[in-house]
Amino acid sequence: MSTSLNPSNPTPTPRTRVVREPQRAVYDREAVNQILDEAFLCHVGFVVPGQPDAQPFVIPTSYGRVGDTLYIHGSAASRMLRNLDKGVPVCITVTLLDGLVLARSIFNHSMNYRSVVILGTATLVADPAEKLAALRALSEHIIPGRWDDSRQPNERELQQTSVLRVPIAEFSAKVRVGPAEDNEEDYSFPTWAGVIPLEMTAATPIEDTRLDPGQEVPEYAKHYSRKR
Amino acid sequence: MSTSLNPSNPTPTPRTRVVREPQRAVYDREAVNQILDEAFLCHVGFVVPGQPDAQPFVIPTSYGRVGDTLYIHGSAASRMLRNLDKGVPVCITVTLLDGLVLARSIFNHSMNYRSVVILGTATLVADPAEKLAALRALSEHIIPGRWDDSRQPNERELQQTSVLRVPIAEFSAKVRVGPAEDNEEDYSFPTWAGVIPLEMTAATPIEDTRLDPGQEVPEYAKHYSRKR
């Protein structure tokens, strides 16, 4: 089926097992890593401890991956950091939108997408070497090559930055690809049907107004793309 | 300052007051609506009731807006629907990514973005008229004009679809625009600096393989864009 990818390593937990549209579920780590590596924006969900009504918060932030570990900037989730001594349960969701699927019936309209959900406990990175490596991974994840071209972080800046570690251990992905799937009797309905592909694209870089005229636009800025 | 927009209607609650980078905060409803209307993907955060550890879940889904109400498909959040009698506290976050900001120092690298956070209680839409209007709003929000070109939902399909209502009452937005902001002493550091603009773009529509050859590509598919 066009909308399913068979899991090569199906080990969901009851919490990460895909309930809706289970044929779209992907539990294979390599496939999940590919999605994580193409995207760089995640949405982090957490509950502020001590609140009576279990109010969740969802914050967008960037991330980096080192093996089976995801790193995020703590500064992007300061509400989360208030009570982090024991770690905080989080859900990290990464979504790539690939297209709009226009079926004959309203009911069968859909989207093509690839998304990953990771459940885990976020803990503060205390070790200075791991912290620096995580920041470098975050930077290189977004713009490979940029770290070495930049003024390196100093002691004060490192102290101002918090980094959180989330193991990529309990996860699932959901993928939809391919054309619309209409009910057989709807194929004769007189309307256009198809897919509008969507993609995040980069435009021509805007040079800083105070840029040293001798500085040329580096390749990573001139031809920025997430395709690997 | 290039990174701030002054709120014309600053009424954050303690829960929606922006803690980090407060100069980026926007509490104005009109500005928030503009972000909500340009995007169509949100990330919904909720806690599955009855779980001991307040584990949040974050699910990507589309939405529609009717005035001060946001509607989402219940089908996208089936875990959430298990105990919906009294409504479920949710956080709905919408993020538009506008660019990568390359500063001279690693520390001052940033992103240009516009994001909205809505806190509220999601409740099931029971009234059939409101449900149909909400589904139409969801469809028209993503592809204006598509609803009337499609085979309308029948009774059975409507019963299979759940719609949730979330009031846009407790909200805030965060916006960053403009160039890098380096420390004064870093402007002489020998590297390129600037902004890589990012945008979601649509490619040429892919016609359905079973398309009636008499059907031309409609304008909304040929020139799909979120700019309003």
Q: What is the pLDDT of residues B2-19, one digit of tens each?
A: 333 333 444 678 888 887
- The residues in B 103-162 lying below 8 A from A, measured between CB atoms, are 103-107, 109, 111, 113, 115, 117, 119, 135, 139, 142-143, 146-147, 149-154, 157, 160-161
Q: Which of A32, A75, A40, A50 has its CA nearest to residue A167?
A: A32
Residue A212 lies in a domain: no
CATH of the domain at B63: 2.30.110.10
Asked whether residue B211 is assigned to any structural domain, the reply reads no
Of residues B199 and B86, more confidently modeled: B199
Residue A17 lies in a domain: no
| Secondary structure, 3-state, chain B | CCCCCCCCCCCCCCCCCCCCCHHHEECCHHHHHHHHHHCCEEEEEEECCCCCCCCEEEEEEEEEEECCEEEEEHHHHCCHHHHCCCCEEEEEEEEEEEEEEECCEHHHCEEEEEEEEEEEEEEECCCHHHHHHHHHHHHHHHCCCCHHHCECCCHHHHHHCCEEEEECCEEEEEEECCCCCCCHHHCCCCCCCEEEEEEEEECCCEECCCCCCCCCCCHHHHCCCCCC
Residue B79 has a pLDDT of: 63
Question: Using the 8-state DSSP alphabet, how is residue A82 labeled?
Answer: G
Q: What is the mean pLDDT of residues B46-63?
A: 83
Interchain CB distance below 8 Å, B47 and A54: yes
More confident residue, A21 or A81: A21
Q: Is the pLDDT of residue A202 over 50?
A: yes
Residues B127-186: pLDDT tens digits?
999 999 999 999 999 999 999 999 999 999 998 889 999 999 999 999 999 999 999 999
- Per-residue pLDDT of A95-122, as tens digits, reads 999 999 999 999 999 999 999 999 999 9
Q: What tokens were used for B55?
A: 């584990």
Tell whether the model's pLDDT for residue B21 goes beyond 70.
yes
Residue among B15, B196, B203 minimizing CB distance to A199: B203
- Work out the pLDDT band at A164, boundaries 50, 70, 90: very high
Interface test with A, best of B55, B83, B135, B166 (most A CBs within 10 A): B55
Calculate how close chain B gets to A14, using CA atoms only, in Å: 11
Measured CA to CA, the distance from residue B95 to residue B12 in angstroms comes to 19
- The answer to whether residue A167 neighbours chain B at the CB level (below 8 Å) is no
Q: Report the length, in residues, of chain B.
A: 228
The pLDDT score that the predictor gives to residue A115 is 97
Give a yes or no: residue A6 inside a domain: no
Q: Do A192 and B216 touch (CB under 8 A)?
A: yes
- Cross-chain residue pair A216–B192, CB shorter than 8 Å: yes
User: CA dist A186 to A21, A105, A180, A183, B18, Å?
Assistant: 21, 7, 11, 5, 48
pLDDT at position A197: 98
Residue B14: the pLDDT is: 80
Burial class (CB in 10 A: 0-12, 13-18, 19+), A58: buried
Q: Which ipTM was obtained for this model? A: 0.92
Q: Which helix (H) or strand (E) holds A38?
A: helix A29-38
Q: What percent of chain A has pLDDT over 90?
A: 73
Which of B21 and A117 is assigned the larger pLDDT?
A117
Q: Which among B132, B125, B51 is positioned nearest to B87, based on CA atoms?
A: B125
Closest-CA distance, A97 to chain B, in angstroms, reads 9
In-domain check, residue A215? no
Mean pLDDT across chain A: 89
Q: The tokens 């701030």 sit on which residue?
A: B4
Residue A223 inside a domain? The answer is: no
Highest mean pLDDT among A87-91, A191-195, B70-74: A191-195
Label residue A13 by pLDDT band (50, 70, 90): confident
What is the pLDDT of chain B when averaged over all its residues? Answer: 89
**Is B148 among the domain residues?**
yes
* Predicted structure pTM score: 0.92
Enter the tokens of residue B141. Answer: 């929000």
Q: Is the pLDDT of residue A150 over 90?
A: yes
What is the tens place of the pLDDT at every residue in A17-61?
Answer: 887 778 888 889 999 999 999 999 999 999 876 666 678 999 999
What residue has token string 């309003």?
B228
Range of the structural domain that residue B135 is part of: 22-180
Q: How many domains does chain B have?
A: 1
**Structural domain includes residue A217:** no
Q: How far is CA A168 from the centre of its chain?
A: 12
pLDDT of residue B85: 62
Q: Which pLDDT band holds residue A90 (cuts at 50, 70, 90)? A: very high
| Chain B 73-92, residues with CB within 8 Å of chain A CB atoms | 75-76, 78-79, 89-92
Kindly state the average pLDDT of the residues B24-30. 86
Q: How far apart are CA B106 and CA A150, in angstroms?
A: 6
CB atoms within 10 A of CB B40: 21
Look at residue B221 in the predicted model and tell me its pLDDT. Answer: 97
